[in-house]
Amino acid sequence: MAKGNFTIPTRVYLSAGQRTQLEFLLRQEERELDDLLTELLSNYLDSMPEAPEDAAQALGEAVNEELRRRRQELRRLRPRLRDPHNPAPTWLVQMVADLEAEIARLERQAGAR
């Protein structure tokens, strides 16, 4: 996949007749469904006005707030992993690992803006 592209898992609901038409079109043009849908959606979005800058800024603020909360939770849990008298349970080790992975994902998302 090209850099900057991403996939969106989705379902498409068609009538039986529409499905037959789509299958015929794909065979006729020798295309895959994902290629056709990508082209159609890209063309549609290209014809739309740009999203307001405020929406992107609000999303960035939401990501930063979520990142702050996750880091705070990680700071609270990490000392429990290092207690020499009470070994951390497996679920806590996994929870910390999941938090670290989520923080890394949010940092990448925040850095991409």
pTM for this predicted structure: 0.47
Residue with tokens 């992975």: 101
φ/ψ of residue 60, rounded to 5: -60, -40
SS (H, E, C) 36-97: HHHHHHHHHHHCCCCCCHHHHHHHHHHHHHHHHHHHHHHHHHHHHHCCCCCCCCHHHHHHHH
pLDDT tens for each residue of the chain, 113 residues long: 455 677 788 888 999 999 999 999 999 999 999 899 999 999 999 998 887 777 667 777 888 889 999 999 999 999 989 888 889 999 999 999 999 999 998 888 877 65
CB 93 within 8 A of CB 81: yes
